[in-house]
Amino acid sequence: MLNISNRDAGGVMVFALEGQIDGGPKSQRIHEMIKEEIEEGKKKFVLNLKDIKWLNSLGAGVLIAAYASAKREEASVKLTNISDRVGLVLRTCGLIPEVFEVFENEEDALASF
């Protein structure tokens, strides 16, 4: 199960994710929501993974798809508050630090824009 909430933080869309990202329909919603925001002209995104307890390679694929959609539109997706467990999966998949910029907390991620 995955819960997603989003808010505008001074022109940066922050997506607070809670639960697990497993590549299922609920996880696909991350990608869909980012595409919807891009269509509305948004270009800056932070995914706050503080409350993500579990992520598998299919979930990593969802994050890659969101990143690719953003990159095509010259938008940025950054990650924050990654647990050791989630970080291990993202490193194993070659996503950090090669693809995503990662920040220790949301404030640093927002300031990076």
Helix axes 57-72, 84-92, angle to 10 degrees: 70
If you average pLDDT over every residue of the chain, what do you get? 95
What CATH number is attached to the domain comprising 17? 3.30.750.24
- Write out the residue range of the structural domain in which residue 17 sits: 2-111
pLDDT at 52 over 90: yes
How far is 3 from 100, CA to CA, in rounded Å? Answer: 22
Total number of domains in the chain: 1
CB atoms within 10 A of CB 102: 19
The pLDDT of residue 41: 96
Express each pLDDT in 73-112 by its tens digit: 999 999 999 999 999 999 998 999 899 999 999 999 999 9
Strand 76-80 relative to strand 44-55: parallel, antiparallel, unpaired? parallel
pLDDT exceeds 90 at position 62: yes
Alpha-carbon distance 103 to 100, whole Å?
10
